[in-house]
Each structure stands twice: as structure tokens, then as C-alpha cells.
Amino acid sequence: MAELKQLVFFDFEMLCNQKGMLFEDMEAIRLGAVKYELETGKVTGFDQYIRPQEQSPLSAFCKELTGIKDSDIRGADDFPEVFKEFLYWVGGVKKTRFFSWSTSDLLRLKADAIRHQLHEATIEKITKRYVDFQAIFTKRAARKSPSVEKALSFYGLEFIGEPHHPMYDAYNTFRIYQAFEEQFVKTDLIMLQQFVFQESELPSIDMIDQELKKILQKDLLEFFVELNDAIRMKDAWKLVKKTRKLVEKYENILLNRSGLFDADLISNIRELIDFYHELQFTYEEHRSFTSKIMILHEQMVEPLQKICV
């Protein structure tokens, strides 16, 4: 794979109506994107209306939502021509990583490429280099899938430009990406607020490790109250799911991009994750033998029990 030279964030506006439409019928009517050159830091934009195959007038709902008028798309190029111009603007798929805020934009690209019988190899190259940044941000910081506006607000930022203008949607997604990649402490504080503290106020930075250890210990004590050495298989799956939720609550701390978290806390969370993996293996092993109960060995739970002492 060629050396990565640039990042492209893209967004589509699509046909829509208030009653809802099949996704395959929601043809793209505008493509916006921003390109960030890694070496120079230069940011450039792309914005083109697209004339859909469906020639019916836009619904009042779609006009109000997107700000797009019938006259905007009536004289526009069709999808193949706009995509050709987009690729020329990109200047090389192999040196590019592509991002959007949810996979709907990639799915739209694929659907319209099929509709217009575009070259599959180019779409496959983009797909291989594609990142759903909303999914990354949700998993690493936000817990629940946020809108672009909500994600910006986590960093104290406001949306720049016109809402539902695809180039500005792409640009603001890029701004979230920049904050996520550059503001490690802030991002970890967002993650702690959303995953661990939730409605409670964040402690001061110098007290974070201490408070996290207390919360983890409390969670594990509550966890062990319901834990038995022998568990019915129908309850064992519930235990696996419960443990997974506990892992999801704490696992991002292991990344420690901010350096906020000490070695003891990271070690404790690693023990929890190791226990979860062992539990998964034990569950699958017992299930493969159609066991009626699942046995948890002392060596498996002992490391976690020590954290509670």
C-alpha cells in the first residue's frame, strides 16, 4: 500500500421525504468533502450538486432539510461525472484515507456506484481505506453515537458553516478528528465522563486515579456478590454479557493516550479483561460439551478478588 499522504472526509446529501424512503432510492444529490494534506497541513474543499436519475421534484421536506432546490440539481452533472471530478480532486486513492461520520455515506457511494455501473475496483480501493469515524469516536470517547454537533460540543467547539451542507459536515467531522488526535487529555476526560462517571462530576485530575480505583473496586464487589463457583448455563451467558459491559466501561483506560492513569489502575483493568477472555473461553468450552452448569476455577477469579481487598 502506498504511503499515506492525505485524509479525505466526505459527506452526501440524499433524496429524502417525510414518509421515509428505501435506502437504494435515496440517490445522492450533493457531495461535499475536505482534504487534509499531512505534510503541509493544507485543507481544501470539494462541493458539487448531483443530478439524480429520479426526475420528480424534491419533496418540501427534503428542500427544507438540505437547503437544496430543484434548480440546483436540474442542471448539475450526474453521479458518474461528479464522482470522476471527485477522484480528480482527491488526486490519488492509494495515498488517501477516507472518513465519514457513520457508514451511510460509504453505503451511499457503493449504492450509487452500482446504480451507475461504475468501476468496482475503485470503490473497493476506497472501501479498504475507509474509516467510520463516528464509530471510532463512539467506542473511544462518547459511548453513545453522537451527532457531529454533539461531538464538537464535547471539546467546547461549535459547528462552523451551514447545517446539512455536506462540505461543512465533512469539515466539522475533520475538526472532531483533529481534536480527538491532538487533545489526548481532553479526550480521555470526555471518555471518563461518558463511560464511568456519567451524571457525576469529574474529580480533579490529581484525584482521578484514586476515584477510578474506588469505582472499579465497588463494581467488582457488586459483581462478586452474584458470582458462584457453579453457574447454570442459562445464567452463564448473562454473566458473560454482564462482564462484557464492565469491560466496555473501563477498557479505554488501557490506551492511556493522555498518560493520566497509573500502572496499578491499568494493571487492575487488564486483570478484568483477562478474566473476561477466560470467561468467554470457559463458557464456549462448557457449551460445546452441552454442559448444564459452568464451573469457575479459583485461579480464574482470584486475581480479581485481590483487587477488592
CATH number at residue 107: 3.30.420.10
Q: Are residues 157 and 267 in the same domain?
A: no
Note the pLDDT of residue 93: 98
302 found inside a domain: yes
Note the pLDDT of residue 100: 99
Q: Are residues 213 and 177 in the same domain?
A: no
Q: For residue 268, which of 194, 217, 192 has the smallest C-alpha distance?
A: 217
Q: For residue 11, which of 119, 114, 117, 108 has the smallest C-alpha distance?
A: 108
**Pairing of β 96-100 and β 6-14:** parallel
pLDDT over 90 (residue 299):
no
What are the backbone angles phi and psi of residue 76, rounded to the nearest 5°? -80, 165
Q: What is the DSSP letter of 96?
A: E
pLDDT > 90 fraction of the chain, expressed in percent and rounded:
85
257 found inside a domain: yes
pLDDT over 90 (residue 227):
no
* 87 band by pLDDT with thresholds 50, 70 and 90: very high
Instruction: Give dist(CA 246, CA 272) in Å, integer.
Output: 8
Average pLDDT score over the chain: 95
- Using left for φ > 0, alpha for ψ between -120 and 50, and beta otherwise, residue 109 falls in alpha
| All cell numbers assigned to 17 | 421525504
Q: Are residues 138 and 67 in the same domain?
A: yes
Note the pLDDT of residue 132: 99
Q: For residue 112, which of 88, 77, 80 has the smallest C-alpha distance?
A: 80
Domain limit, last residue, from 135, 156, 182: 182
The 10s digit of each residue's pLDDT in 170-197 is 999 999 999 999 999 999 999 999 999 9
